[in-house]
Copies of this chain bind each other. A is one copy, B any other.
Amino acid sequence: MPVEAIKYVTKVDLSKSGDEQPQVHNRWHPDVPFTETIKPGEVVKAECLDWTGNQIGNNDSADDLRHVDLTRIHYLSGPYNVEGAEPGDALVVEIKDVQPLERQPWGYSGVFHKTNGGGFLDRFYEQCAKAIFDFNGIHATSRHIPHVKFTGLVHPGIMGTAPSAEVLKEWNTREKSLVDEIQSQHDTPVAQLPKTDGANCGSATGKLKDLIAKEGARTIPGRPEHGGNCDIKNLSRGSKCYFPVYVKGAKFSIGDLHFSQGDGEISFCGAIEMAGVVTLSFSIIKDGIKKMALKSPLFMPGDVQNHYGPSRFLTFEGFSVDEKGKQLHLCATTAYRQACIRVIEYLRRFGYNDYQIYIFLSCAPIEGHLAGVVDVPNACTTLGLPMDVFDFDVSPEAEIQKRDMGNCAFVSGYDHPVHFDFDSIREQK
């Protein structure tokens, strides 16, 4: 009885841009043609491009990051037609494995320029920075952030079923309302509305292609109805996930693979981004949306995750008083930003610069918790740093010994500061 290797439903080409590959797509739309039909119970593999579709190189400059085209991103494998799935069902997806490609054993994490992507701390760190990570089996290390090694909690940043026409309309309407309402108060985009530029509509052609490009929802945000770019680090190997089905066949897509990510993925391109391969299987719960009261995806993680003892997390507290000293009202987002800043101030004492720490926080398996969200006016969050990923002692009572920490990759010819003095922006009392 010859046994064959597991079947691939998608293969990608690492030498071509994502634009040129019709087995992937980068817009959410009910009419993107499916690429393969998969039976319930069947185990399959799907290769995925890195989120930029090969725009970023393994080198020591952030020039490629600076000029990345953000309309040409999130090339997702699929959509897949799951036999028997119908609107109203729940699609059960088992992520049997996620691995880097053997032929490309590296990935990258980066800080995007404030005017081209930005990130959680872009008000302090406006410039680009990049770190290349080498994948040696389960471990990642970077020549740009030395003295750190961690095991990948590998996961897809994006998974989702296709929206129905109705769901798609709701997305576009509500996001446009936000833009109409508050964009004028912001200096970076508050949402990404549909845009034909850069649309990869899979194998659609002609009018269908134009329609998808015109209406298709952008892939940047996760969305409650189907998951999408939820960037949940624990949605890793062995996870069993439940998605609402809105269209016949479910039209499930997956991509934006991460070798590792910290809670928050704070630098935007913050995970260790990579091309890779997922092993998947599907099953269907008929009428599952109603049976399970399933308005948003839910999941149970797998039973293997990076496993540190609780006492090995050096934990920073962040509250909703912003970096200028202004009091906000129960804003967990602000609170988490403060916790991130606290870590930067803490770790830089060991010799890292702020951009290195910013990237580290984005991609290492740090834990971000909501602690208290009801004690007016302060939300409290915590950020747990797994001390075991460093090859030296970073605990509070460690002797400080400045090491040569090198640098991350910057844009060629940069001369911008690499530290931010948070004390300088505190409001005068």
Binding site for B on A (CB under 8 A): 1, 3, 5-6, 43, 57-59, 90, 92, 95-97, 102-106, 118-120, 136-139, 151, 169-170, 173-175, 177-178, 182, 186, 188-192, 220-224, 227, 229-234, 237-238, 242, 263-268, 270, 279, 281, 285, 291-293, 295-319, 321, 325-333, 336, 338, 342, 345-346, 348-349, 367-382, 388, 393, 395-397, 400, 429
Contact of A221 among B295, B306, B378 (CB under 8 A): B378
Contact of A327 among B105, B191, B295, B299 (CB under 8 A): B191
A396, B292: Cβ atoms closer than 8 Å: yes
B302, A305: Cβ atoms closer than 8 Å: no
Other A-B contacts than A307-B311, A368-B370, 20 sampled, CB-CB below 8 A, are A1-B58, A120-B374, A151-B238, A151-B304, A174-B325, A178-B327, A182-B329, A186-B329, A224-B338, A233-B371, A263-B371, A267-B374, A285-B397, A292-B346, A292-B396, A295-B345, A296-B342, A299-B317, A300-B314, A331-B333
Q: Which residues of B contact A285 (CB under 8 A)?
A: 396-397
Q: How far, in whole Å, are A334 and B306 apart by their CA atoms in the complex?
A: 29
> What is the chain B residue whose CB lies nearest that of A221?
B378
In the A-B complex, the 9 residue pairs with the closest CB atoms: A96-B137, A97-B137, A231-B372, A137-B279, A221-B378, A332-B332, A368-B370, A303-B311, A293-B345
Q: How far, in whole Å, are A319 and B375 apart by their CA atoms in the complex?
A: 22
Q: How far, in whole Å, are A191 and B330 apart by their CA atoms in the complex?
A: 10
Q: A238-B151, A327-B174, A331-B331 are in contact. Are A336 and B191 (CB under 8 A)?
A: no
Q: How far, in whole Å, are A381 and B328 apart by their CA atoms in the complex?
A: 20
Can you name 17 A-B residue pairings with CB atoms under 8 Å? A3-B105, A119-B374, A173-B429, A190-B376, A223-B319, A227-B317, A230-B380, A231-B375, A231-B380, A232-B380, A266-B373, A266-B374, A285-B396, A303-B308, A308-B309, A311-B388, A332-B370
A106, B303: Cβ atoms closer than 8 Å: no
> What is the chain B residue whose CB lies nearest that of A422?
B295
> What is the chain B residue whose CB lies nearest that of A233?
B371
Q: How far, in whole Å, are A330 and B373 apart by their CA atoms in the complex?
A: 16
Q: Which residues of B contact A138 (CB under 8 A)?
A: 96-97, 237-238, 302, 304
Q: Which residues of B contact A321 (CB under 8 A)?
A: 174, 223-224
Distance in Å from the Cβ of A304 to the closest Cβ of chain B? 5
Q: A304-B306, A388-B309 are in contact. Are A220 and B375 (CB under 8 A)?
A: yes
Q: How far, in whole Å, are A13 and B190 apart by their CA atoms in the complex?
A: 54
B332, A336: Cβ atoms closer than 8 Å: yes
A302, B293: Cβ atoms closer than 8 Å: no
> What is the chain B residue whose CB lies nearest that of A230?
B380
Distance in Å from the Cβ of A91 to the closest Cβ of chain B? 12
